[in-house]
């Protein structure tokens, strides 16, 4: 009983210390624009602290870089019709099922690459990351990625620079959003590509990348630990059928664009004065910057 009470007290002290770090980080950030203030929830601050091993100074630097990136790139303002052409083959889509933990699932099929503009490819992925976050269930902070290598080869591979840029965006601006990335049945030719790409991954992200081979028992069990095989598409060793209907998916994304606009207040006139969270002050919203052309 004494040990149980001691463990409980230690856990409570740990939670209190974490909450103190969150408060310290919020104070260190200073005044924020209305949109940045909405982004910087306590859960958000906690993710950046976890990514930087609860070092407030490092988490502050990382978060400030993200806020600069979001002010420039404006991921919440990307609409489906701007990137729909990238999704015609279903190379990246949000699944209509969840993993065993109830997390949103993104399905990536690099073998269905259909365009060559790196910027559009990245914007399409960013759009779907934002969409996946929008569709997370209450209490969920992370998503799962399923990557199907069917049809992938040297002729359709993503350029190293594009892969690096995508990884940097995921690691630097969406910390602790990835629960696991399951690379399903990658061909041997992928090994050379992976040897280069893996050096762009930080240790935390690297640990979340799992190689899965359908003929290996441990790989099959790994998939079962994350997914119900009845919901899992047969492309990933499950019993369900994956039918990507671009028209239907576009309809769903257009509906979600309305939800996104409402969440961020994009359907309203921008306000330079908003009520702060935890007493934080609000600064004017920065002017939009143009994106580079392809």
Return the pLDDT at 294.
41
Q: How far apart are CA 56 and CA 42, in angstroms?
A: 14
pLDDT in tens, 194-214: 999 999 999 999 999 999 999
Whether 290 has a pLDDT exceeding 70, the answer reads no
Q: What is the largest CA-CA distance in the chain?
A: 65
Beta carbons of 126 and 169 less than 8 angstroms apart: yes
User: What angle do helix axes 56-73 and 42-51 make, rounded to 10 degrees?
Assistant: 120
Reduce the DSSP state of residue 153 to 3 states and report it. coil
| Residue 60 structure tokens | 């502050």
pLDDT, average across residues 6-27: 80
Q: Worst-scoring range by mean pLDDT, 45-49, 72-76, 109-113?
A: 109-113
Q: Give the pLDDT of residue 281.
A: 43
pLDDT, average across residues 184-202 = 90
pLDDT at 19 over 60: yes
- Give the pLDDT mean for 1-30: 78
Higher-confidence position of 4 and 262: 262
Considering the entire predicted model, what is its pTM?
A: 0.86
Q: Which helix (H) or strand (E) holds 208?
A: helix 203-208
Mean pLDDT value of segment 62-88: 98
Report the pLDDT averaged over residues 23-28.
98
Mean residue pLDDT of the chain comes to 87
Residue 67 has pLDDT above 90, yes or no: yes
The Cα 165–Cα 29 span in angstroms is: 26
- The pLDDT of residue 151 is 82
Q: Can you give the pLDDT at residue 162?
A: 87
Tell me if 132 sits within 8 A of 171, measured CB to CB.
Answer: no
Q: Tell whether the model's pLDDT for residue 52 goes beyond 60.
A: yes
Higher pLDDT, 255 or 13: 255
pLDDT tens-place string over residues 137-164: 999 999 999 999 888 876 665 677 888 9
The closest alpha carbon to 85, from 43, 127, 48, 45, belongs to: 127
The pLDDT tens digits of the residues spanning 106-142 come to 999 999 999 999 999 999 999 999 999 999 999 999 9
Res 272 pLDDT > 50:
no
Q: Is pLDDT at 286 greater than 50 in this prediction?
A: no
For 218-257, the pLDDT digits (tens) are 999 999 999 999 999 999 999 999 999 999 999 999 999 9
Distances (CA, A) of 176 to 51, 147, 171, 190: 7, 19, 8, 26
- Report the share of the chain in percent with pLDDT over 70: 84
**What pLDDT does residue 253 have?**
98
């Amino acid at each position: 009983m004494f040990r149980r009470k001691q463990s409980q007290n230690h856990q409570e002290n740990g939670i209190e210390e974490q909450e103190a770090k969150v408060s310290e980080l919020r104070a260190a950030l200073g005044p924020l624009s209305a949109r940045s203030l909405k982004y910087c929830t306590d859960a958000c601050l906690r993710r950046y602290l976890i990514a930087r091993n609860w070092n407030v100074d490092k988490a502050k630097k990382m978060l400030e870089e993200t806020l600069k990136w979001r002010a420039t790139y404006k991921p919440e303002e990307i609409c489906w019709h701007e990137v729909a052409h990238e999704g015609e083959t279903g190379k990246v889509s949000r699944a209509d099922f969840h993993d065993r933990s109830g997390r949103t699932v993104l399905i990536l099929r690099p073998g269905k690459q259909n365009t060559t503009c790196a910027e559009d490819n990245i914007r399409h992925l960013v759009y779907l990351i934002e969409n996946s976050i929008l569709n997370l269930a209450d209490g969920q902070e992370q998503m799962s990625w399923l990557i199907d290598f069917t049809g992938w080869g040297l002729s359709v591979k993503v350029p190293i620079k594009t892969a690096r840029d995508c990884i940097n965006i995921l690691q630097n601006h969406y910390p602790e959003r990835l629960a696991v990335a399951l690379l399903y049945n990658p061909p041997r030719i992928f090994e050379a590509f992976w040897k280069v790409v893996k050096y762009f991954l930080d240790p935390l992200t690297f640990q979340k990348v799992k190689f899965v081979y359908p003929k290996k028992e441990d790989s099959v069990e790994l998939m079962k630990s994350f997914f119900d095989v009845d919901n899992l598409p047969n492309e990933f060793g499950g019993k369900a059928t994956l039918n990507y209907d671009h028209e239907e998916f576009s309809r769903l994304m257009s509906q979600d664009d309305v939800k996104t606009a409402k969440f961020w207040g994009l359907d309203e006139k921008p306000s330079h004065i908003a009520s702060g969270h935890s007493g934080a002050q609000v600064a004017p919203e920065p002017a939009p910057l143009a994106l580079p052309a392809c």
